[in-house]
Amino acid sequence: MGELTMRDVYLSVEGRVQGVGFRWFVRERARRWGLAGWVRNMTDGTVRLVARGHPDDVTGLMGDVHRGPEGAWVTGVLELPIEPDEQFPEPFTIHR
């Protein structure tokens, strides 16, 4: 058995993603995938999130993020560089 490889991502989600339950959706999906991290609304209207976990599970969450919950309209998902001291809380949480 090989060493478990973890994947970290930092995403900025654009579109109609605030006021539609997007953070709650991301938190619930991330927890189902067994990921650590956080999600928050930004003042520019985007939603940002960091996630850490098994690469397949991170990919699964990224697919969920591209679709979003009912009522959301995702127009773009950008992958950003992760800060070296980034924290990945468990369980996955909503930052206000």
Say which of 16, 31, 41, 48 is annotated catalytic. Answer: 41
Q: Which of 7, 23, 52, 67 is catalytic?
A: 23
Q: Active-site residue 67, yes or no?
A: no
Taking every pair of Cα atoms in the chain, the longest distance, rounded to a whole number of angstroms, is: 45
Measured between alpha carbons, how far is residue 28 from residues 13, 54, 61, 81 in Å?
17, 17, 10, 24
Active site residue 23: yes
Catalytic residues: 23, 41
